[in-house]
Amino acid sequence: MRRALPLALITLLSSGCGALAPPGNPLVVAHRSGAGNWPENSRTAVRNAVAAGYEGIEFDLGLTKDRIPVISHNVALNPVLCAHADGTPLGTTPVYIKDLTLQELRSGFLCGGLADPDNPSAQVIADIHLTLDELIGEVSARPDLLLHFDVKFEPEKTLDATAFADEILGRWSAAGLPNPWYMSCAFPEFIRVAADRGAHVSYTLPRPVPALGSTGGAVAGDVLGKLGVGDFIGLARQSGAAGLNVAYQVADRAVVDAAKREGLTVQLWTVNDPAALDLYCHWPIDVLITNYPERAPCF
Amino acid sequence: MLLTAALALVLAAEPETASPAPAAPSWSFGFDRVDLISEEIGSFLNYDVLEVRVYPLKPVLRFVEQVKVVFRLPWTGLYVGASIESQSLTYELPVGPKGLFLTGGVVTRLLFPRGAIAGAAYRVGNFRFGLSLSAFTSGSWSAPGSFQWTFFPSLGFGLGFGGP
């Protein structure tokens, strides 16, 4: 008995309270509408995600020069995935969506026709950019489908935050679909504007720190969070966000627990490895974002 | 896991077989130890270590963030410690001649009052083992109004370099 008690305590503690926590039940959302299986953010991906019975889709929104919301991950066309309409490569000079009208974007460029090195199992299908209005049409048959609008507003590289909020929220509201939805953005300028218009917006973290790169920025963000001068709950509260949209590489389970109790929603991105999906399916999060929803045990 | 297994073996051993702790050391201000596993907060063992198989860099970073340097203050039994994750003021009350102490303290986050710990510690040779209950809030300088409490059982393992 004298030896058993400490051994039992140590065994319990070393297993971690996380291992004993009740399982979560997150909705599984297809990242970029299913980038693991189809060209990211494409009409093909949206159609197949709807047909596959996915619980939700995440897609990225840019804004053209003539203020048309289009589905695109980057503020500039991705030279790895996109090419000129005649097939020639984009080159090294960034082609910003804000500098193109929808007609120029569609007549001059195609995306999805190049193999995606990050998603080698994805189909390769060239297509013109999908607009938000067209996406709304594609999902109208699935009123249960959760929609995650990831807004790619970025100061100085896109149109202003008010234009993004007006065009996206205006079109979504006009469509009148009953689908559950929320937005996310990495910049508080947009979060404040959209939250003022009644949107549920999550703060995308970690914040980009171009000078440090993705890993350096994540490490710096983690340290600042631990110090409490840039912690995730504080950032969300200060920006008016109603949720946290957190990369799993920087997610802190204790912070997630506290954020949930504080009334914030939590989305975790982008988890693709089966073991990681199994782990994070047990976290008390609202949404688990993955390129491969079918791999998640909680789907 | 290896660390806690080793700790289990030490705690389960007969106290008489361990090196005798100094019965009444003279107290002096100065460096006391480095806690490789800090019992404040406790989220490293409770949560972060579970992610080692899916993204090892994160537990490694969280480990570094919780390593704590501890100093003795001029008052007997009083310690101050600091890591990236927390800073604390703790008191150790001896409850026997064999290196056993009751412990308690307050924990801050960059000096923002955050919570408390209470538990027991066992010092043997240059080692200190702790077993505590940690209670802390989500409050910080950037979210001073956030008061979601978390309670963790936690373990500590410290390495000193000679007693006071």
pLDDT in tens, B32-53: 999 999 999 999 999 999 999 9
Per CB-CB distance under 8 Å, the chain A contacts of B153 are: 9, 12-13, 17
At B164, the pLDDT band (50, 70, 90 cuts) reads low
Q: H-helix or E-strand containing B30?
A: strand B30-37
Low-confidence ranges of chain A (pLDDT < 50): 1, 7-20
Yes or no, beta carbons of A10 and B155 under 8 Å apart: yes
Yes or no, beta carbons of A233 and B146 under 8 Å apart: yes
**DSSP conformation class of B7:** H
Per CB-CB distance under 8 Å, the chain A contacts of B48 are: 252-253
Yes or no, beta carbons of B146 and A253 under 8 Å apart: no
Per CB-CB distance under 8 Å, the chain B contacts of A231 are: 138, 140, 142-143
Yes or no, beta carbons of B142 and A228 under 8 Å apart: yes
Query: Mutation test of the interface with chain B: which of A2, A5, A15, A17, choosing the one with the most B Cβ atoms within 10 A?
Result: A17
Q: At what angle do helices A232-239 and A188-196 cross, to 10 degrees?
A: 50
CA nearest B139 in A: which residue? A228
Q: Which of A8-22, A86-100, B63-77, B140-154 has the lowest mean pLDDT?
A: A8-22
Q: Decide if A275 contacts A248 (C-beta within 8 A).
A: no
- pLDDT for the residue A22: 56
With 80 as the cut, is the pLDDT of residue B21 above it? no
- pLDDT for the residue A219: 87
With 70 as the cut, is the pLDDT of residue B8 above it? no
Both tokens assigned to A139: 């999902």
Interface A-B, measured as beta-carbon pairs within 8 A, has a size of 127
At B157, the pLDDT band (50, 70, 90 cuts) reads very high
pLDDT in tens, A261-298: 999 999 999 999 999 999 999 999 999 999 999 999 99
Per CB-CB distance under 8 Å, the chain A contacts of B140 are: 228-229, 231, 233-234
- pLDDT for the residue B163: 56
CA nearest A15 in B: which residue? B46
Chain A nearest CA to B26, separation (Å): 30
Using CB atoms within 10 Å of the CB of residue B30, give its burial: 0 to 12 exposed, 13 to 18 middle, 19+ buried. exposed
Per CB-CB distance under 8 Å, the chain B contacts of A219 are: 61
Question: Mean pLDDT across the stretch B70-97?
Answer: 95
Per CB-CB distance under 8 Å, the chain B contacts of A273 are: 54
